[in-house]
Structure 1
Amino acid sequence: MIALSELARQLPCTISGDLSGDYQSVTQDSRRVSPGSVYIAMPGARVDGHDYVVDAKIKGAVCAIVERQCAVDIPQIIVEDAYQFTVEWAKYARAQWQGKTVIALTGSLGKTTHKELLLALCSQRGPAYATPGNYNNLLGLSLTILNVPANAKTVILELGISEIDEMASLATLAQPDIAYVTNIHPCHLSGLKDETTIAKEKSKIYQSLTEDGLAYINNLDDHVDQFVASSGHCKQQLLHAANFELNQSSIKLDHRAHATFTMKLDGKAHTVSLQMPGKHMVDNAYAAAVIAYRLGVSSDQIVSVLSNHRATSGRMQRYVHPQSQAHIIDDSYNANPRAMEAAIASLGAMQCARKILVCGDMAELGDSATYWHTKIGEWATQHGIDYLLATGAFADSAVMKFDGTKRIVHNHADLLSALQHQLAEGVVVMIKGSRSNHLDRCVQALVAEKTKKEQEVQ
């Protein structure tokens, strides 16, 4: 990490206090401050970070970056704009990196799962670090870069956009050696308009690669021509090519909808059994395997890691409710139409007595929101869902074309009450919606009742 004293010399600011000490992390969230943190006080629409400088000091912060000096006994760097200062700091920090392989990825479906799989795989070749949580916008990317350990050999950066021209800034900051677009599907349509625009904007991730950079191309995606055109200036590697192949006909789902599949890496066939629900997880696993293999991770290591990797919080994570023995699948982290369809298909593939879908709104779909929410009922009917419990502004649309038992609720309390009456042995509940629905709070309420993760009870 860059010394604070050096930072003060490189970027416009005023210093108050001694900056000679070391620091361990950088955060703009006072709740995440720990001993050795640098705390960035950012003014916001609802809260002002300057009000929490005292709290940060108590928690062990060694420095605060502020827009106005605070009456707190802590070294301070006073700047004109804390947000912009953080971005410029990240640019300077990124320019100092040496000996690191930087992978940047984006896409409409599965980019976070793909990131987590790559992190697990690349950790086999040495220390690795990846974007934490949903830190995939410009501020999140900046904070990620500022927290990368000095010894990290591989850095995996997730880039997310919801507006036109966002990707250029993200990719320029990331300066990846390797870039990849997982896939293109309808999402963030209020800002990105349509699939063609989504493909064009997300493909700008390739434009930050130098001529020696490597663009991985998902040549089974409908927008492969856009990927190829955007990466014509650098090296290109087709994901599905000679000696590297995903055998689609080999994919089989067990009673939990966990997939087993066969893939070829450098001409040799390998069988993998995933520990995450959903056929769509196979594409994530295969792409991560190809990239990791070409970085030097052995095929045996890849098979072992993929076969033991567990779903992360909010992404198809399974819990067993101890009172009822019902299974709860938490996929509440986010939702777009393709992700919702994949989640419903996964629930439909599970072998159980009763299948319940809890769905919230899919955000940022613009003028097509009603159409896509109506599809939820169609998909649920198609995949044999027994009960649809919908909440949110588009709940009426979500249940409109569902043929089974359905109910609309208007708040979390009513949702939990309705759900509690359905929990029983043999029941599987899938909880899915955009983050703005806060359905994770419903999951947490259920988890608080001594619910256990599946891996803890197997």
Structure 2
Amino acid sequence: MTPLWTSDEASAATGGRATRAFSATGVSIDSRTLRPGDLFVALKDQRDGHAFVAQALANGAAAALVSRIPDGLTDGAPLLLVPDVLEALAALGRVARARSRARVIGVTGSVGKTSTKEMLRAALRGQGTVHAAEASYNNHWGVPLTLARMPADVDFAVIEIGMNHPGEIAPLARLARPHLALITTVAPAHLEAFDSITAIAEEKAAILEGLEPGGLAILPADLEVTPVLAARALALGVPAMTFGQSGAADWRLSDIQITPEATIARASHADQTFLFKVLTPGRHFAANALAVLAAAEALGLDLTITACDLGLWSPPAGRGTRERIALDPVDGAGFDLIDDAFNANPASVAASLELLAAMAPTDGVGRISTGRRIAILGDMLELGPTEAALHRAIADHPALAGIALVHCVGPRMRALHEALPRRQRGEWVETAAELVPRARLLVDAGDIVLVKGSKGIKVSLVVDALRKLGQSGPSRTRGAE
């Protein structure tokens, strides 16, 4: 296998000192998932990675990137010594980006970053090799790690860029140096650190500061803050394409059909009208897929091949995976589970509720004669001083009219629980663990159950409990992020 980093290359990139020669075929930050031949990066995050260097080397790491010699090792071990590990990782990413021939697409947005990244991976791979992170590696260490792992000879790279606080996106964008910058949407998220949607839009627009000369912005057309995004592009001299349902959009959705298995959309661009689909229900997926088609055209790719490959995409695990849980192994009676337990903010919760409302439960197969749509909603985190109002406002969403019960998890979701009509008011618990023992009482055959919440509220525990009620059958389709 061609080495990704030799000791000479890594030393030159980081200014570090290699204790001995090595050749690494990958880069890892986790000794548990490390593959033999990886360069282990001893980051300091929740725990100090230096404590796991010995284990990483025992597991087959080619070397370790460290700021000191860990206890129990000598400088005879394969180490790359640097003053600061995170800065050295960024340096590796910078050099990897510089030596790559890839056309780079940077993706940011309040909702849909990871799904759009994966759509791009699926849509581009039929016309070249694609590099993208396997998870949501979009922060101050995730972007450098994704770049440091990038082979020099890939054709396309998709780099997801996120933020929690002002000033985070621009440095990461300058590191990634995208040829295309795609903003999925701007919505209330991380309001704990921002005082308005406009401020969030300004931070998202900072991705344009990293664009390569001649780069292009792909922007949502239907937002109140679209002018904020467009103004930043204009100020930077960046040409922009817009997508959405607005009549002024360069790429315009004219019709969306949602079925239990897919989303089918009609769109127009310039003088062309075309159909495309993704194998998952959700109106917002149509918009993200349209942005992917816009990116493919900007890259000079064949749109027919792109649309066909895009049609095979389904969401990543934990971001809307829909599966059948069989309660009775004999007759197959069961319920449908939508696992969307990774992330939540007002926009993504609204999208998930709309998806749930559009799905049809099955009548006449359970203890309760009518199949139900049930939502289990966990706290939306990092929303700042208006968090109570934003949770309470979910009760006014039109999609709730078709949902039978809403169970609420977390102290913030109590505001929603109290605002719900009595007929829809399910249980409220402070922690997800409290709901786990009651999982069997929450569902019946024929139901469709959505579990949605921010990762920190751990509603994934409820997902696991619901899965254990039966044997999961083959996944029929996928749902919302």
Whether 1:252 aligns to 2:257 is yes
Deviations 1:349-380 (A, max 9, x none): 11112011011110100101101111223337
Match of 1:238 in 2: 242
* CA-CA distance at 1:437 after TM superposition: 1.3
Helix, strand or coil at the partner of 1:247: strand
After superposition, the C-alpha distances for 1:167-226 in whole angstroms (9 at most, x for unaligned) are 111111111111121111111001122101001111011122244111223233222222
What is the aligned partner in structure 2 of residue 86 from structure 1? Answer: 89
Q: Could you tell me whether the CA contact under 8 Å between 1:211 and 1:235 is conserved in 2?
A: no
Question: Alpha-carbon deviations, 1:403-440, whole Å to 9, x = none?
Answer: 11311123334312333223222100001001111222
Distance across 2 between alignment mates of 1:242 and 1:189: 29
Deviates more, 1:86-95 or 1:128-137: 86-95
What's the CA shift for 1:74?
Answer: 3.4
2:80 to 77, 82, 102: 77
Q: What is the CA distance between 1:62 and its match in structure 2?
A: 0.7
Matching of residue 429 in structure 1 with residue 433 in structure 2: no
Equivalent of residue 136 in structure 1, options 120, 135, 138: 138
1:257–1:190: structure 2 CA closer, same or farther, 3 Å change rule? Answer: farther
Q: Show the counterpart of 2:338.
A: 329
In 2: Cα distance, 1:159 partner to 1:340 partner: 21
Maintained 8 Å contact 1:259/1:274:
yes
Going from structure 1 to structure 2, the CA distance change for 1:109 and 1:62 (only over 3 Å counts) comes to same
Contact 1:25/1:36 (8 A) holds in 2? yes
Report the equivalent of 1:400.
Answer: 418
In structure 2, the partner of 1:118 is 120
SS at match of 2:344: coil
| Residue number in structure 2 paired with 1:65 | 65
**Match for residue 209 of structure 2?**
207
Residue 378 (1) aligns with residue 392 (2):
no
Which residue of structure 1 lines up, in the alignment, with residue 33 of structure 2? Answer: 32
User: Aligned to 2:358, which of 345, 349, 356?
Assistant: 349
Say if 2:395 is the partner of 1:391.
no
Is this contact kept in 1: 2:439–2:466, CA < 8 A? no
Give the equivalent residue in structure 1 for 2:368.
Answer: none
Verify the 8 A CA contact 1:245 1:263 in the aligned structure 2: yes
The residue number in structure 2 matching 1:318 is 322
Does residue 452 of the first structure (1) align with residue 473 of the second (2)? yes
Distance in 2, matches of 1:305 and 1:416, equals 39
Unpaired stretches in structure 2, ≥5 consecutive residues? 328-332, 362-370
Distance 1:3 1:198, change over 3 A: same
Equivalence for 1:222: 224
The residue type equivalent to 1:28 in the other structure is: I
Q: Residue 28 of structure 1: CA displacement?
A: 1.5
Q: Tell me, yes or no, if structure 1 residue 338 matches structure 2 residue 347.
A: yes
Matches of 1:113 and 1:165 in 2, distance apart? 24
Return the offset for 1:29: 1.4
In the alignment, is the contact (CA less than 8 A) between 1:257 and 1:278 conserved in 2?
A: no
State the one-letter code of the partner of 1:39: F
**CA distance in structure 2 between the aligned counterparts of 1:196 and 1:166, rounded to whole angstroms:** 16
Instruction: From 7, 12, 15, give the equivalent of 2:10.
Output: 7
Q: Find the residue that maps to 2:342 and give its secondary structure.
A: coil
Partner residue in 1 for 2:277: 273
Aligned residues: 451
Change (3 A) 1:55 1:452: farther
Counterpart secondary structure, 2:24: coil
Give SS of 2:32's match. helix
The amino acid that maps onto 1:261 is A
Equivalents in 1 of 2:347, 2:9: separation in Å? 46
SS in 1 for 2:154: coil
Report % sequence identity: 27
Distance in 1 (alpha carbons) for counterparts of 2:377 and 2:473: 22
| Distance (whole Å) between structure 2 residues aligned to residue 44 and residue 109 of structure 1 | 25
Q: Give a deviation string over 1:78-98, Cα, whole Å, max 9, x none.
A: 22221222122222322222x
Distance 1:213 1:376, change over 3 A: same
Change (3 A) 1:38 1:2: closer
Distance change in 2, residues 1:224/1:267 (3 Å): same
Q: What's 2:296 paired with?
A: 292
TM-score (norm 1): 0.92
